[in-house]
Amino acid sequence: MIAQAAARSRVPFFVPLFNPLASRLLRRGRLMGPNALLTVRGRKSGVMRATPVALVETQGRRWIIGTFGEVNWVLNLRSAGEGVISVGKHHDLVSAQELSLDESAAFFEDVLTPYVTSLPIGRLVLRMLGAGDIIDDPKAAAAHRPVFELRPPTS
């Protein structure tokens, strides 16, 4: 419970204010770079919930990162194990596999850091989100920033 409160306190003030606008824009199409809507069943209510997430896509693989730690969508996805990734009218049912700490650290170092540092303002965006540690210390970041690889659902 304390860890969850601490994780939520790292969410910058502007993120909850921006999420409704981001959700509306993402329902219309890919207007916001590498972002998408994740819809996942609530672990307590069973109600489908949608939230904007950063979607990393490279070499035919996809991941989403719990940048702000153990927030509700992370807990819901962990519980449900599947969700829907949407951008505009394109919807993909996905199975979500949470990476181990070592796998997350390797992802941050080998996949995310080269991607972010190749973007003109990538480092700045991470720092604004309070997530500069992903680049500076991937192993430490992996301890409190869950990563999920998204795959086609298993039948």
CATH number at 71 reads 2.30.110.10
Give me the pLDDT at residue 30, please: 58
Q: What is the pTM (predicted TM-score) of this model?
A: 0.80
Provide block-wise average pLDDT over 10 residues at a time, the chain (155 residues). 42 61 63 80 95 90 93 96 91 97 96 87 83 92 96 85
Tokens of 2: 């304390």
Q: How many CB atoms lie within 10 A of CB 100?
A: 10
**Amino acid 79: pLDDT:** 97
CA separation, residue 78 to residues 9, 40, 74, 113, 154 (Å) = 20, 10, 6, 24, 16
Q: Give the integer Cα–Cα distance in Å for 146 and 142.
A: 7
Within 10 angstroms of residue 54's Cβ, the number of other Cβ atoms is: 17
User: Which residues are CB-contacts of 141 (< 8 A; sequence separation ≥ 6)?
Assistant: 104, 105, 108, 131, 133, 134
Range of the domain at 81: 2-151
Q: How many domains, in total, are found in the chain? A: 1
